[in-house]
Structure 1
Amino acid sequence: MAEDVSAWRAGLDETFGQVADLFGRVEPRRWARAYLTGLLAPVERKNSWQLSEAAGVVEPDGLQHFLNRSRWSADSLRDRVRSYVAQALSRPDGVLVVDETGFLKKGAKSVGVQRQYSGTAGRIENCQLGVFLAYASPLGRALIDRELYLPESWISEPDRCAQAGVPETRCEQGVLTKPRLAEAMIGRALDAGVVAGWVAADSAYGRDGKFRAFCEARRLSYVVEVPVKQTVPDLDGRRRVDTLIGRAPTNAWHRASCGPGVRGEREYDFAWATLPAFDDDLPAGFVRTLLARRSLDDPTDIAYYLCFHPETVAREQIVSIAGARWAVEECFQAAKDQCGLDHYQVRKWDPWYRHITLAMLAHAFLAVTAATDPKAHAGWARSQSPTSAVSWR
């Protein structure tokens, strides 16, 4: 046990050593180290008061100064977190997973807060929404980027934004939808050399044609969920996805697991079809396909996915990428439960990004540490058998 603790501390020291220079002087560097340690400690609420107590300081003034006024860049730290994760977990079949999570708040002063739908709560709540990018591979998964969603109710009030410390350049951009924020994060990851073969996202992003076009322009394969009303090309026009899947013959459905869950393998029935192409916008060697996932317990419970990928990809890999989307939910749960991602009490723009990015670093440390477990090296199921150009697969 003592050896395990010693190894854990040595690993944390090595991880912090990769970012220590970003904090300039000795004092903010010490606070950053204490903050990171506190986020990983068994502290009930990882706010400035309890983190200060964990660091052996009675009052939280020093830590609050570190978050609010000390000179260091949360974006520079984000870049180091992304590199740290990519170096440890990168695989050619890695997946960039986009999703958002809500942070419930009281009052109207926390930057970006308003009454809006929170998937975390499952209802409309007074909350902030953060859009995140996770990296997932057979070695592990971790959050590598983040953006705070700024709704129209904030953009339309420049004085309110100024009081919350929102940069003028951000206000000038106007409302950036969640898919546009996702594109920015994916673009940053690719520009930084992150190796990823796929993008996965839920229907909030999958139904956005510009988001799919963004990925296709970069030859970045995707498996994105779409709503039941989504239309796709058919031989005699456009059809809703549920109509097209409703025509699938019985032998088009195949049972498969899209990955392990808390209750064992997540098994579903899947149907997969190539969509016809009537134009020349598809890159050579690529196809668009439609995947349907049907519940074993309730055959009327069907999820639909639009896919874009090389034509040689097989069903097993498409199914595994669809399942990989849950990686970001696992990241959210671990980062909140273990690293205090949602425990902050800051209200302004810079402190929000600073806390969130430090929590991402703490979670990345846990993910990379876990990647040393031999069980983490089990690969995802994949096949190199070619697929047909058209028809049910």
Structure 2
Amino acid sequence: MAVEGATGRWVAELEELFLRVGHHFGRVEPRRRMREYVRGLLGPVGRKNSWQLAEYGGLTAPYGLQHLLSWSRWDPDEIRDDLQEYVAERLGEPDGVLIVDDTGFVKKGTVSAGIQRQYSGTAGRTENCQIGVFAAYASIKGRALVDRELYLPKSWTNDAERCRHARVPAERAFATKGELARTLVLRALASPLPIAWVTADSLYGQDWTFRRMLEETGVGYVVAVPKSQQIKSLAGIWRIDQLIDDAPDDAWQMLSCGDGAHGPRLYDWVAARLPVNIAFDPDPPTHHRWVMARRSLSRPQEVAYYLAYAPQGTTVEHLVRVAGSRWAIESCFQTAKNECGLDEYEVRRYPGWYRHITLAMLAHAFLAAMAAAAIEKGAAETTRPRWRRSPWQRSADYWQLADRHPRRIAASSP
């Protein structure tokens, strides 16, 4: 009976999500194809391309799903907006954190939009790949991807004919990853998502314009920076590693930046608030700038550096927790790729990339919402022994159960 109840909750939640986004598809056929595509992304499909998704959905050919990604009339940005509203309702908390990072999609050939040989953090080396810049939302309830932009290198934006063949919009100009990140942040801040903090790795944290934008919006941040990052103070300009090296031994304290797979992630941390120049800013500040560092307990020579901007009264422990939340987006990438086929697309053109990625993010947000609901209702502990896997990995089990109840699935179809 518990399994029946869990299956019913999954069906009802997914149907509610389909109804939320379905009105963006003007005709019934693309709306039905969208449902089939997302169900396939959530299902136990070996490789989630159009052929295998079509086979899983009982279709004789993949052309309907391919048409959905390539030529149907629907705007993935409208789906993204609904996704952000959905995540705000299911996972939103006043102390929510927006995380910015990029991930690579290793692909063959030269015609896929944005593809070239470039460094991929996913592969850890230079590969022939596409790069997507993403934003994820994290709170105590869970985490989910909420926005995306495809990075187009200059080898693409400087070649109008190449862009035309890939159906890149004529108005799409070159933008650095930092500029794409600023776009994602501003869009998220204008959404229903309750965001108190922004965090990112050093690629974005070292960008002065990125930090300045965050300060102007009034949102707090904790961003990683390289050890060569320069810090301006009343006494002069210093490298951040030099400032940290001068910290006394008793300034370091062992703190947890969040729970990992094996318990609390413990490091030595040091933090110092930078002084305010009252000659230029006589009013009492509402926020303060900080420098921070994290040192490995087992390998003390491994030190990571941070800059922070936080409301007055923020504790070091709170800043450490925000810094630790940056790893949530890595978890999102892993789950979205393993469970929702984020990287298993075979589309080559610019619109198809956005459409597949957005629907995969929608499937991922659904999993996040169901995991949060299970934990809230106390169902996580009762169902975990049966599945013996985390809430993120239950999609295959759900669809195997749902396949035994075809009437329920048929009832949820348009």
TM-score (norm 2): 0.88
Q: After TM superposition, give the deviation of residue 280 of structure 1 in Å.
A: 3.5
Q: After TM superposition, give the deviation of residue 144 of structure 1 in Å.
A: 0.6
- Mapped partners of 1:371, 1:193: distance in 2: 19
Secondary structure of the structure 2 residue equivalent to 1:22 = coil
1:139 aligns with 2:144: no
- Mapped partners of 1:186, 1:340: distance in 2: 25
Q: CA RMSD in A?
A: 1.5
Corresponding position of 2:401? none
- Mapped partners of 1:346, 1:283: distance in 2: 54
CA contact (8 A) 1:141 1:331 kept: yes
- Mapped partners of 2:146, 2:51: distance in 1: 27
Instruction: Kindly report which structure 2 residues correspond to 1:107-118, keeping only aligned pairs within 5 A, or say none.
Output: 107-118=109-120
- Mapped partners of 2:298, 2:155: distance in 1: 42
Corresponding position of 1:341? 342
Q: After TM superposition, give the deviation of residue 311 of structure 1 in Å.
A: 2.2
Q: After TM superposition, give the deviation of residue 191 of structure 1 in Å.
A: 1.5
Deviations 1:139-165 (Å, cap 9, x if unpaired)?
A: 110011000001111011010001000
Corresponding position of 2:251? 252
- 1:288 maps to a residue whose letter is R
Corresponding position of 1:215? 214
Instruction: Kindly report which structure 2 residues correspond to 1:291-330, keeping only aligned pairs within 5 A, or say none.
Output: 291-330=292-331
Q: After TM superposition, give the deviation of residue 376 of structure 1 in Å.
A: 9.4
Percent identity, please.
53
CA contact (8 A) 1:138 1:376 kept: no
CA contact (8 A) 1:370 1:376 kept: no
Q: Identify unmatched segments of 5+ residues in structure 2.
A: 379-414
Q: After TM superposition, give the deviation of residue 87 of structure 1 in Å.
A: 1.4
Q: Identify unmatched segments of 5+ residues in structure 1.
A: 378-393
Corresponding position of 2:63? 61
- 1:342 maps to a residue whose letter is D
Instruction: Kindly report which structure 2 residues correspond to 1:8-87, keeping only aligned pairs within 5 A, or say none.
Output: 8-87=10-89
Deviations 1:358-381 (Å, cap 9, x if unpaired)?
A: 00000000001111133699xxxx
CA contact (8 A) 2:136 2:145 kept: yes
- Mapped partners of 2:126, 2:35: distance in 1: 37
Q: After TM superposition, give the deviation of residue 179 of structure 1 in Å.
A: 1.4
Secondary structure of the structure 2 residue equivalent to 1:144 = strand
CA contact (8 A) 2:84 2:192 kept: no
Instruction: Kindly report which structure 2 residues correspond to 1:164-243, keeping only aligned pairs within 5 A, or say none.
Output: 164-170=166-172, 174-243=173-242
CA contact (8 A) 2:97 2:139 kept: yes
1:161 aligns with 2:163: yes
CA contact (8 A) 1:233 1:275 kept: no
Corresponding position of 1:332? 333
Q: 1:168 to 1:40 in 2, by over 3 A?
A: same
Q: 1:198 to 1:376 in 2, by over 3 A?
A: farther
Q: After TM superposition, give the deviation of residue 283 of structure 1 in Å.
A: 8.1
Q: After TM superposition, give the deviation of residue 236 of structure 1 in Å.
A: 2.3
Deviations 1:332-377 (Å, cap 9, x if unpaired)?
A: 0000000000000000010100000000000000001111133699
- Mapped partners of 2:369, 2:65: distance in 1: 27
Instruction: Give the length in aligned residue pairs.
Output: 374
- 1:280 maps to a residue whose letter is F
Q: 1:375 to 1:25 in 2, by over 3 A?
A: closer
Corresponding position of 1:390? none
CA contact (8 A) 2:135 2:148 kept: yes
- Mapped partners of 2:259, 2:217: distance in 1: 30
TM-score (norm 1): 0.93
- 1:301 maps to a residue whose letter is E
